[in-house]
Amino acid sequence: MKRKLLFLISAVLLLAGCSGGKKSLVIGVSQCSNDIWRSKLNAELALAARVDGVTLRLSSADDDSQKQMAQIRRFVADGVDLLIVSPNQSHTITPAVEEAFDAGIPVILFDRKIDSDKYTAFIGADNVEIGRIMGHYMADFLDKKGRVVEIPGLEGSSPADDRHKGFAEALQQYPGISLVTAPYGGWLREGGYNAMEEVLARGVRPDAVFGQNDRMALGAREALGAPDDVAFFGVDALPDAGLQEVIDGVLTASYLYPTRGDLVMELAMNILSGVPYQRENLLESALVDSRNARIFQLQEAEVATQRANVENINARLDTFLMQYNTQRLIMWLVIGFSVLLIAIAAQTYWSYIKMRELQHQLQESTAAKLKFFTQVSHDLRTPLTLVAGPLQHVMEGPLSPEQQKTLSLARRNVTVLQELVNNILDFRKIESGNMPLSVSRFDLPAAIREWMGGFLSTSRTLTYEGLEALTVEADMRLLERMLFNLLGNAIKHTRPDGHITVSVRQEGPSAILTIVDDGEGIPKEKLPFIFDEFYKGSESGSGTGIGLALVKAVAELHHGSVHVDSTPGAGSTFTLRLPLVQKGATVAEGRDASAFTEQYKETYAREDTAKEEAASRVSESDRPTILVVDDNADLRSFIGTLLEGEYRILSACDGREGLEKATRELPDLVVSDVMMPVMDGLEFCQTLKGQPATSHIPVILLTAKSLEDQRAEGYDSGADAYISKPFSEKVLLSRIGNLLKSRILLKEHYLETGESAAQPKENDFLGRFRAQVQAHLSDENLSVEQLGSELGLSRVQLYRKVKALTGYSPVELVRITRLKAAEQLLKTTDKTVAEVAYAVGFGTPSYFSKCYKELFGRLPGEGR
């Protein structure tokens, strides 16, 4: 659902974005400086760009060639669509322009050129012609005689070089005119001032000055003191700097140097649109003097007025366009969210229909399960009665202690089965509305303390806290069943040394019963389902999934509620709220709570594994040790009874305790259940087989899961055998015997092959063991403790593991390894028997000879 909504939102935003038009073209402009002429050009470019819908990125190098090269390369890296460059210095800027051109970016050179033909187009005035016309004009003004000073622009700049070339060529035609070239003025007024100061320092006083732009001419005039007998000429004739000076007579003449940003942008758009264009584009210009300056000023004023009008219109258009785009975006958003709301509504309706279908299917499935379990439960009641009755009759006769123990075990489990049957039948009655309350008035704390007496035989610490007396109206039998399920659940999920506390308090018209344990807890994600019928918090746990569902059903039948709080690893708290008075119910006098207690005294017999083990310890020094791991105390006791005559028995109530005991005791074999709390049998087996100290121990899994894939899962975890419940005691004893008898063959197999007959991976361990012995072969003081430390095992763990794998103790295995090494030395070297004895770690040759003969049946020197 969330994915679909995100997709619809993305589609709406995409449509809104697409409706804004095509992607805007980006043109980068790199100006050499930021003077008045360039500012006028930039304004014209910006106006034309707005008309064409182009994004214009303006930059100025401020007469710094290195800065301009960096700007050009940044434009290339940003991937602009076209580049307009006015080079600061032709030679210096050439490499950067060539890089842009080679990168496939069209390059327009404006006003100035570079020392390469790697550019797309050029547009600008003919600077040679400007210099030539200005030279002839000045010669005519001076009557073809006099001294002329020329102040060039920027060294290395193509306009400066071209204007000087045309100017010098024109004056060469007039012998009466001498040309004095001043230093470069850098296109600045102060540069013209300084250049003229240097000319005056040479002792030269001119009759006329040609500044290659108006600003330098004005700076030279200032340096000369604004004399009336010297004529000053420039280039640019800008409305605010040059044209007015010609009108005022400050400058004798100037040359109109056009900016024409509109034509530059037109050329750029032709290139980007694939329209044919000329590579070299020369702009028209004209000489400005006192005769035409006013006309040019009027024309510029008119152009300025028109430009302002156009900018005003563009500003209004921008406002209208912004409003239009905003309205269009709002329209698309409204359409999009309308579609989204329709989609959400459709999805919600579809989900509702599917939910109804699933609920119906779930109700049918639940009803079918309940019907099946109810039928089975009814069918079980008669056989259970026929089992329980004769069993009780037999137990009342003379029996041996062993017979009494076995029959008590059977009677306890018949009682457990009867409780399961009663739970299912009661739950079915409540669900179908056929369970009337048999309400009586009784003391709730007293009844609870009496009922808890049936659980005191458990090894968990069970305590009561709270009110000593509180009268309630409730169905005592159903309330007892609720406590049975809640306490049974707490005991199942709490370790044998854990604590369970039951308390009662009053809150207004309600009695509050809480059961707190410090067991394994319930994961947060499972809490909402814990009271659902047939829900089991763990697949590895036992039970039908009816117990807590019955608790909730009984609570609601009493117009109460039940709630659980739990923290994994810290325990759980079940809180039951019941009204003190059952309105409208017929109330009888209280019954004796002890009537419901006796049946539990044996059901929850103490699960103390330490006592179980102590009971099995008789003369056991040479008997194999078997660890029995099961959460059911009766099954542990039954298996212990089967095995205690031939084996030493250890017990554990879950996989975690079993792993601890297996690591500490290193039993000869493990019999484990699969479905257990805390740690199930599969995880226990996998962890056991993964530890170096315990990986050799055979494991038999007992389980009620008998499907092929479940058996495969058991073998995949490392189990050596898999027996389904209910099992035959003969099959179990046979499997145990065969696995242990196979160990007897290990001694002969190891002597013949040098490898264990156990799992192949255990040969890696033996290989490391032999490698350690070989590394200390000549050390007669090598100890089992030293070997265990280097192999990561304790002395006891090393002894039991080596014994289990080879049939030999570590000391014997070290001696065998030394003797086999000695045999090789005797065959392949000329060393004496004494030298060989010392080389393989024997302290005396005589003891070496004795051990050698015991193993090989001959003395060391025989047969050499």
Tens digit of each residue's pLDDT (9 = 90 or more) over 300-318:
777 777 767 766 776 777 6
Give the confidence band of 604 by pLDDT, cuts at 50, 70, 90.
very low
> Ranked by mean pLDDT, which of 373-387, 478-492, 611-625 comes out on top?
478-492
Cβ atoms of 701 and 672 within 8 Å: the answer is yes
d(CA 571, CA 435): 33
Query: Residue 226: enclosing H or E segment and its boundaries?
Result: none
Please state, for a pLDDT cut of 90, what percent of the chain lies above it: 26
Give the residue among 667, 648, 642 at the shortest CA–CA distance from 733: 642
| SS3 (DSSP) at 599 | helix
CB 214 within 8 A of CB 241: yes
The residues that bridge with 439 in the sheet, in sequence order, are 475
C-alpha to C-alpha distance for 299 and 770, rounded to whole angstroms: 108
Min mean pLDDT across 272-281, 451-460, 725-734 is at 451-460
Burial of residue 249 (CB within 10 Å: 0-12, 13-18, 19+) is exposed
User: Band of the pLDDT at 277, cuts 50, 70, 90?
Assistant: very high
Q: How confident is the model at residue 21 (pLDDT cuts 50, 70, 90)?
A: very low
For the chain, how big is the Rg over CA atoms in Å? 53
Give the model's pLDDT for residue 391.
63
pLDDT value, residue 408: 67
Taking alpha carbons only, the member of 652, 673, 676 closest to residue 664 is: 652
pLDDT for position 426 = 63
Tokens of 609: 């594994």
Residue 2's pLDDT is 47
3-state secondary structure (DSSP) of residue 543: coil
- Which residue stretches of 511-666 are H helix? 547-557, 598-601, 609-616, 633-643, 655-665
Note the pLDDT tens digit of each residue in 54-86: 889 999 988 888 999 999 999 999 999 999 999
Say if residue 486's pLDDT is above 80.
yes
Residue 289 CB partners (closer than 8 Å, separation 6+)? 137, 246, 252, 253, 254
According to DSSP, residue 176 is labeled: T
CB 428 within 8 A of CB 577: no
| Contacts of range 199-202, beta carbons closer than 8 Å, 24 or more positions apart | 199/149, 200/224
Alpha carbon separation from 214 to 185, 201, 223 (Å, rounded) = 11, 23, 14
Angstrom distance (rounded) from CA 495 to CA 677? 10
**Which of residues 619 and 552 earns the better pLDDT score?**
552
- Strands 571-579 and 588-589, by their bridges, are unpaired
Give the confidence band of 379 by pLDDT, cuts at 50, 70, 90.
low
If one counts every other C-beta atom within 10 angstroms of the C-beta of residue 658, the result is 31
- Return the ∠ at Cα 169 (arms to 166 and 174), rounded to 5°: 130
Alpha-carbon distance 74 to 100, whole Å? 10
The vertex-340 CA angle with 336 and 345, nearest 5°, equals 150
Q: Which of 39, 93, 98 is nearest to 68 (CA)?
A: 93
Q: In this structure, what is the dihedral angle of CA atoms 402, 403, 406, 409, given to the nearest 10 degrees?
A: -110
Q: Between the CA of residue 613 and those of 472, 526, 712, what are the distances in Å?
A: 45, 36, 32
Residue 115, H or E segment: none
Instruction: Tell me, rounded to whole angstroms, the distance of Cα 271 from its chain centroid.
Output: 50
Under 8 Å between Cβ of 637 and 409: yes
Measuring CA to CA, which residue among 669, 809, 805, 801 is closest to residue 737?
669
Helix (H) / strand (E) containing 358? helix 293-395
Cα–Cα distance for residue pair 538/678, rounded to 1 Å: 10
Check: CB of residue 196 under 8 Å from CB of residue 223.
yes
Residue 618 predicted with pLDDT over 50: no
Tell me which DSSP letter residue 624 carries.
Answer: P
**Measured distance CA(273)–CA(265) in Å, rounded:** 12
Cβ atoms of residues 539 and 553 within 8 Å: no
CA–CA gap between residue 703 and residue 696 (Å, rounded): 22
Contact 151, 278 (CB under 8 A): no
- pLDDT per position as a tens digit, 98-116: 999 999 999 999 888 888 9
Predicted confidence band of residue 774 (pLDDT cuts 50, 70, 90): confident
With a cut of 70, say whether residue 18 has pLDDT above it: no
Whole-number percent of the chain with pLDDT over 70 = 79
pLDDT for residue 535: 65
For the segment 141-159, the average pLDDT, to the nearest whole number, is: 91
User: Mean pLDDT of all residues in the chain?
Assistant: 80
The Cα 187–Cα 209 span in angstroms is: 15
Range ranked top by mean pLDDT from 257-266, 355-364, 585-594, 607-616: 257-266
Asked whether residue 855 carries a pLDDT value surpassing 50, the answer given is yes
How many Å apart are CA 764 and CA 552, to the nearest integer? 56
Report which of 217, 183, 213, 186 is spatially closest to residue 201, judged by C-alpha positions.
Answer: 183
Residue of higher predicted confidence among 643 and 106: 106
- Of 49-53, 217-221, 348-352, 399-403, the least confident: 399-403
pLDDT at 417: 66
Nearest-angstrom CA–CA distance, 498 and 656 = 15
Please determine, for residue 602, whether its predicted confidence score (pLDDT) is greater than 60: no
Indicate yes or no: pTM above 0.85. Answer: no
Reported as a pLDDT band with limits 50, 70 and 90, residue 434 is low
Dist. CA 408–CA 392, nearest whole Å: 9
In this structure, what DSSP letter does residue 76 have? H
Inter-residue contact 216 to 153 (CB < 8 Å): yes
Does the pLDDT at position 176 exceed 90? yes
